[in-house]
Structure 1
Amino acid sequence: MTNLFDLQQQRRSIYALGQNIDLTEAEVSELIFKTIKETPSAFNGQGSRAVILFGEANNTLWNDITASALKPLTPAEYFPNTQAKLASFAGGVGTILFFEDQDIIKGFQENVPLYAENFPVWAEQSNGMAQYATWMALAEQNIGANLQHYNPVNDEAVAAKWNIPSNWKLRAQMPFGSIENPADAKEYATVEDRFTTYNK
């Protein structure tokens, strides 16, 4: 079994995605559900939500909904590049939509007012952990992924298309699929720039 450090190194942003993975849709769904289920959250609120789009639904998200939302916002000369990027996401097996349940946050704010201003921050941290854990779980299965943030430009259309509850707020999108081209070498900041330790 791959250890955590090796898995962290293996997880990369993969943009050349294909449909040649070994897992079935049901197996991918179970993997994602189990991973998010075990992700920690403040006060055990468990507010992270996920919707997985496969096949034609994945194509609709990128080549229809998101492309239509971005076209009026993008200079005409740049839109072909935008379309190509969206098509690369659609070319994978699917996309995970990560949401955060706002009713969970509001409930804690009402019941624990001392920390009211912190609950939205903690919810974002938990959702980020769910995204990262899911990304590593996919990487362990040799499934490539990248993380996108086209919300809020496509929020309304996504909610309408897939009957998303109004209290779910879209936080990120994670296209995934087979690794058709590996990521480039990664550069790292120095240890001295990023870490400090003290013992007294």
Structure 2
Amino acid sequence: MKSVLLNSIMFLVLAILLSACTSNKESTSEGVEDFDSPVYSGGNLKIGIVGAPPKVREDNVKFISLSLGDVEEKSFRDVDAVFINKNYLPEAAEAKYAKVYLESLVPFIFINSEKVYLAFIDEELSYEDAHTSKAGDYLIGYFNHKYFGLSLYNHQNTKKTIQDCYSRVFSIIENAKNTGEINL
């Protein structure tokens, strides 16, 4: 009789544990796609982009192709911000660009950098030698002597979380355009 009761209790405990694990997995995967992610609805923005433009949800954001040569020559006066894609980050961290970022009248956004923002503004620090970012930010920005970072929702790399991250940075860029400051 005791063994039947003990087996029944063990079965019940095991069933509860398994259902809790299953429930947790479902809520985690659903949570990534079900979070509130407003689309940027502010004014029109023109974003300079070194590399391929990201796929965003906004119709009021226009991307203008730039080269790192344009960045070096400061030929980006008609844009509200400059984005630099991951493939160009090691070169964008070369010493000759640091002064451009430090003195820029528009925010610079470094996409999916594995390194901290100092890699871009410290002339003596190469991308390879810079500390690896532990914050998990997908977008790292620098403007007016202020660094900021935006991570993906739940640190999940999905189309929706990436688009959400861009929508949030567009709001920050619009605010910087209107106030000259970064406000998170």
Is TM > 0.5 for Structure 1 vs Structure 2? no
> Given the two structures, how large is their TM-score scaled by the length of structure 1?
0.26
- Choose between structure 1 and 2 for higher RCO, CA contacts under 8 A separated by at least 6 residues: 1
More helix by share: 1
